[in-house]
Chains A and B, each alone.
Chain A
Amino acid sequence: MIELDKVAHSYGGGELLSGISLTLMPGSFHFLTGPSGAGKSTFLKLCYGELMPSAGHVQLFGRDVGAMSRDDVAHARRRIGVVHQDCQFLDHLPLAENVLLPLTVAGQDTGAEADNLIELLSWVGLARQAASRPPELSGGERQRAALARAVIMSPEVILADEPTGNVDWDMSLRLLQLLVELNRMGKTILIATHDLNLIRAAKAQVSARVLRIKDRRIQLAGADL
Chain B
Amino acid sequence: MSPALIRLRSFLLGDGQADRVVPPTGFTVRLTLFTSAAMGFLAVFALALSLATGRLADRWSEALARTATVRISAPEGQMQAQTDAVIEVLRTTPGVVGARVLSVQEQRDLLAPWFGPDLPIDSLPLPQLVELRETGKGYDAEGLRLRLSAEAPGAVLDDHARWRRPLVRAADRLRLLGLVSIVLIGMTTAAMITLSANAALAANAKVIQVLRLVGARDVYIARAFVRRFTGRALQGAAAGTALAMLAVALLPGADTAGGFLTGLGFQGAGWLLPLLIPPLAGIVAFWATRAAAFRTLGEVT
Q: Which residues of A contact B (CB under 8 A)?
A: 49-52, 70-71, 74-75, 77-78, 82, 84, 88-93, 97, 101-102, 104-107, 110, 149, 153
B209 touches A88 (CB 8 A): yes
Q: Does B252 contact A (CB under 8 A)?
A: no
B301 touches A49 (CB 8 A): yes
The B contact surface, by secondary structure, is helix
Q: How far, in whole Å, are A101 and B301 apart by their CA atoms in the complex?
A: 18
Q: Does B116 contact A (CB under 8 A)?
A: no
A sample of 6 cross-chain residue pairs with beta-carbon separation below 8 angstroms, ordered by A number, consists of: A70-B217, A70-B218, A89-B210, A97-B17, A101-B214, A105-B220
Q: Which residues of B contact A75 (CB under 8 A)?
A: 215, 217
B17 touches A102 (CB 8 A): no
> In whole Å, how far is B178's beta carbon from the nearest beta carbon of chain A?
44
Q: How far, in whole Å, are A104 and B217 apart by their CA atoms in the complex?
A: 12
**Taking each of A52, A93, A110, which has the highest tally of chain B beta carbons within 10 Å of its own beta carbon?**
A93
Q: Does B273 contact A (CB under 8 A)?
A: no
- Residues of B181-231 whose CB lies within 8 A of A: 206-207, 209-220
B211 touches A105 (CB 8 A): yes
Q: Which residues of A contact B212 (CB under 8 A)?
A: 50, 74, 77
Bitwise interface map of B from 2 to 18 toward A, beta carbon under 8 Å scored 1, else 0 = 00000000000000011
Q: How far, in whole Å, are A13 and B301 apart by their CA atoms in the complex?
A: 19
B215 touches A90 (CB 8 A): no
A106 touches B215 (CB 8 A): yes
Picked from A74, A89, A91, A92, the residue with its CB within 8 Å of the CB of B216 is A74
> In whole Å, how far is B68's beta carbon from the nearest beta carbon of chain A?
71
Which residue in chain B gives the minimum CB-CB distance to A74? B217
Q: How far, in whole Å, are A74 and B24 apart by their CA atoms in the complex?
A: 25
Q: Count of chain B residues with Cβ under 8 Å from any Cβ of A?
A: 21
Known: A49-B301, A51-B301, A104-B17. A92 touches B214 (CB 8 A): no
A102 touches B18 (CB 8 A): no
Q: Which residues of A contact B20 (CB under 8 A)?
A: 93, 97
B23 touches A90 (CB 8 A): yes
Which residue in chain B gives the minimum CB-CB distance to A104? B17
Which residue in chain A gives the minimum CB-CB distance to B207? A90
A88 touches B213 (CB 8 A): yes
Q: How far, in whole Å, are A149 and B213 apart by their CA atoms in the complex?
A: 11
Q: Does B21 contact A (CB under 8 A)?
A: yes
B301 touches A105 (CB 8 A): no
A52 touches B207 (CB 8 A): no
B215 touches A74 (CB 8 A): yes
Q: How far, in whole Å, are A88 and B214 apart by their CA atoms in the complex?
A: 10
A90 touches B21 (CB 8 A): yes
Known: A50-B301, A52-B301, A88-B209. A93 touches B216 (CB 8 A): no
B218 touches A105 (CB 8 A): no
Q: How far, in whole Å, are A74 and B215 apart by their CA atoms in the complex?
A: 4
B17 touches A78 (CB 8 A): no
> In whole Å, how far is B152's beta carbon from the nearest beta carbon of chain A?
86
B215 touches A78 (CB 8 A): yes
> In whole Å, how far is B45's beta carbon from the nearest beta carbon of chain A?
40
Not counting A49-B301, A71-B218, a sample of 9 additional A-B residue pairs whose C-beta atoms are within 8 angstroms of each other reads: A70-B217, A74-B212, A77-B215, A89-B210, A90-B21, A90-B207, A93-B20, A104-B18, A110-B17
Picked from B21, B24, B206, B209, the residue with its CB within 8 Å of the CB of A105 is B21
